[in-house]
Amino acid sequence: MGDTPDHVGHRSRLRARLLDDAEGLADYELVEYLLALAIPRRDTKPLAKALLREFGSLAQLVSADPESLRRVDGLGDSGIAALKIVQATGLRLLKGEFRDKPLLSSWDALLDWLRADMGPIDVERVRILYLNSRNMLIRDELASEGSIDQSAIYVREVIKRALELGASAIILVHNHPSGSPEPSRQDIAITREIATAASNLGIALHDHSIIGGSDYRSFRAMGLI
């Protein structure tokens, strides 16, 4: 019988630390142990450190698309699936904080979810949250996905979809991959156009939130709508 590989003993010590004080683990150690569950016969510390160097942070890593992850040498589908489980679980837990509650009374929970979901991605996306008369979420839909620096919002399509769903209100959300959440002139113009079109049909535009990394801007709070 051969000697036990060094990484097996290290993994046991890491597991004990995880069970005792997960907060005390470094990001690379969390990734290392996660990957060890998916790739049990390999020392995953070098891979964990390489992934964090490549993507910059734990949030950026678990939010990365599978194709980008596959470009990292040594990371196969099992490891990628483990990372995506972490992302999906985290987002589902955050969404559970407001799923069955009026969104306007769960605003902080909504923003936590949006920042986690949209803050790390490097392509601009526009989402529309459609609400009923109790301000509860009917549907969360991706309205547009653009290049790294622009994405289109089509006023007619937003209003048409609100009518189809019987929505009483909508919230616009989009991200700025640059990391700055400051609204552009185009952002302000299209938001006001949607607000006017929605109001004419008795639909309220509650807000337009721009996510930039871990920061955000609210059009309502800024007095822009």
Q: What is the pLDDT of residues 68-127, one digit of tens each?
A: 999 998 899 999 999 999 999 988 888 877 777 777 777 888 888 888 888 787 888 889
Chain-wide mean pLDDT for the chain? 86
Q: What are the CA-CA distances from residue 45 to residues 8, 11, 26, 83 (Å)? A: 12, 10, 12, 15
Residue 3: pLDDT above 50?
no
| List of residues 6+ apart from 74 with CB closer than 8 A | 47, 50
Buried b (16+ CB within 10 A) or exposed e, 150-170: ebebeeeebbebbeebebbbb
Roughly how many angstroms between the first and final C-alpha of the chain, as a whole number?
72
Look at residue 2 in the predicted model and tell me its pLDDT. 46
Q: How far apart are CA 14 and CA 202, in angstroms?
A: 57
Residue at 48: amino acid letter: A
Length of the chain, in residues: 225
Look at residue 94 in the predicted model and tell me its pLDDT. 83
Q: What are the CA-CA distances from residue 210 to residues 8, 24, 39, 127, 220 (Å)? A: 45, 33, 38, 10, 11
More confident residue, 6 or 125: 125
Is there a contact between 151 and 174 (Cβ–Cβ < 8 Å)?
Answer: yes
Q: How far apart are CA 13 and CA 92, in angstroms?
A: 30
Residue at 182: amino acid letter: E
Q: Quote the strand ranges of the chain, DSSP E.
A: 125-131, 137-145, 169-175, 204-212, 215-218
More confident residue, 197 or 123: 197
Instruction: Report yes or no on whether pTM surpasses 0.75.
Output: no
Q: How far apart are CA 94 and CA 209, in angstroms?
A: 17
pLDDT > 90 in the chain, percent: 40
Strands 169-175 and 215-218, by their bridges, are unpaired
Look at residue 163 in the predicted model and tell me its pLDDT. 95
Among the residues of 107-178, which ranges form H helices? 107-118, 155-165
Residue at 112: amino acid letter: D
